Amino acid sequence: MSNTSDVYLKAARYGKDLVRIMRVYREADKQTCTELTVRLLLEGAIETSYTKADNSVVVATDTCKNTINILAKRSSNVDNIEVFGQEITAHMLKQYTHISSAHVDIIKHKWSRMIVDGKPHPHSFVRDGEELHTAKITHLRAGNSVTITSGLKNLLVLKTTGSAFHGFYKDEYTTLVETWDRIFSTSVDATWTYTVRPAEKYSAVDYPAIYASVKQITMDTFAKDESASVQATLYLMQQQILAKYSDVAEVSYALPNKHYVGIDLSKFNIDNTGAKMEVYHPQADPSGLITATAAHSTIGAN
């Protein structure tokens, strides 16, 4: 039997997960709403709660939940999730001196204002897509430094032409046929990390504008590029984002290649091949998965 004396606590963090919030802002004749799912985890001088059964160092996870709810009530930035996340982490470090770092992950669920009688409705919304805006905030007491990673997830896109795949490596296991015209579909999962800087310098970043721009660059590049491969199109997206935003240190994409396979109708004497391919089977799995991270050649805080 192993000796427990050589066991040590290497790392630990704890907190509250799946905190659900719907925040409504009411103005004179217009209302806005934001729905979030929040995770808050803490690190610091908490090891004795694990090793000595000493709960005196534990900020209860219920307290973490209550803190998130109260800050959502008081904050004017719940819709700006990168800033709201910083408000949470800053509060935890100010309130609990034995906590050395706070980590917040936020998922922003999509609600779009309804268009009724040709005009945006003042208080009605629709879930018109499954894409998610995400944010990950890590706030360290040492140096009061913050790292923020924003994300765009589950943006489902498809184009029926303008994509090819040929000239790839072939060996005795290769059966894939080259194609010069195919359906290209993917569910975009993109993240971009801002340059690390002191907490007080992050408030000047226009996170909603950058999120909207990344989404637009992603869609424009997807639609316009005569794609030689998912890899090549992915890298074009990264180049444009990094060229436009010096505040962004690196960009990562994970693009599953959602395959649409031409259905064989030859048994019915119907040609559904080549230029005449018009009926496809959406293939659930397996799928290709293309990932990459691109960064500025020199990364440093501004």
User: What string of pLDDT tens digits covers the 302 residues of the chain?
Assistant: 567 778 999 999 999 999 999 999 999 899 999 999 999 999 999 999 999 999 999 999 999 999 999 999 999 999 999 999 999 999 999 999 999 999 999 999 999 999 999 999 999 999 999 999 999 999 999 999 999 999 999 999 999 999 999 999 999 999 988 899 999 999 999 999 998 777 777 778 999 999 999 999 999 999 999 999 999 999 999 999 999 999 999 999 999 999 999 999 999 999 999 889 999 999 988 899 999 999 988 644 44
The answer to whether 204 touches 256, Cβ cutoff 8 Å, is: no
**Numbered residues of the known binding site for 5-hydroxyisourate:** 61-62, 165, 182, 230-231, 257
For 164, 181, 184, 223, the CA distances from 160, given in Å and listed in that order, are: 11, 9, 7, 10
Residue numbers of the domain that contains 88 = 12-140
Give the integer Cα–Cα distance in Å for 88 and 136.
12
Q: First CA to last CA across the chain, in angstroms? A: 54
**Numbered residues of the known binding site for urate:** 61-62, 165, 182, 230-231, 257
Which are the catalytic amino acids?
16, 61, 259
**Residues 129 and 185 placed together within one structural domain of the fold:** no
What's the pLDDT score for residue 97?
97
**Residues 36 and 59 placed together within one structural domain of the fold:** yes
In a domain, 292, yes or no: yes
| β-strand partners of 112 | 126
**Numbered residues of the known binding site:** 61-62, 165, 182, 230-231, 257
**Residues 157 and 106 placed together within one structural domain of the fold:** no
**Residues 38 and 63 placed together within one structural domain of the fold:** yes
What's the pLDDT score for residue 221?
98
**Residues 54 and 170 placed together within one structural domain of the fold:** no
Q: Which run of H or of E encompasses 49?
A: helix 47-51
What's the pLDDT score for residue 298?
67
How many other CB atoms sit within 10 Å of the CB of residue 51? 12
In a domain, 197, yes or no: no
**Numbered residues of the known binding site for O2:** 61, 257
pTM exceeding the 0.85 threshold for the entire prediction = yes
**Residues 109 and 186 placed together within one structural domain of the fold:** no
Give the integer Cα–Cα distance in Å for 253 and 167.
23
Give the integer Cα–Cα distance in Å for 264 and 281.
10
**Residues 127 and 176 placed together within one structural domain of the fold:** no
**Which DSSP category does 78 fall into?**
T
The answer to whether 133 touches 211, Cβ cutoff 8 Å, is: yes
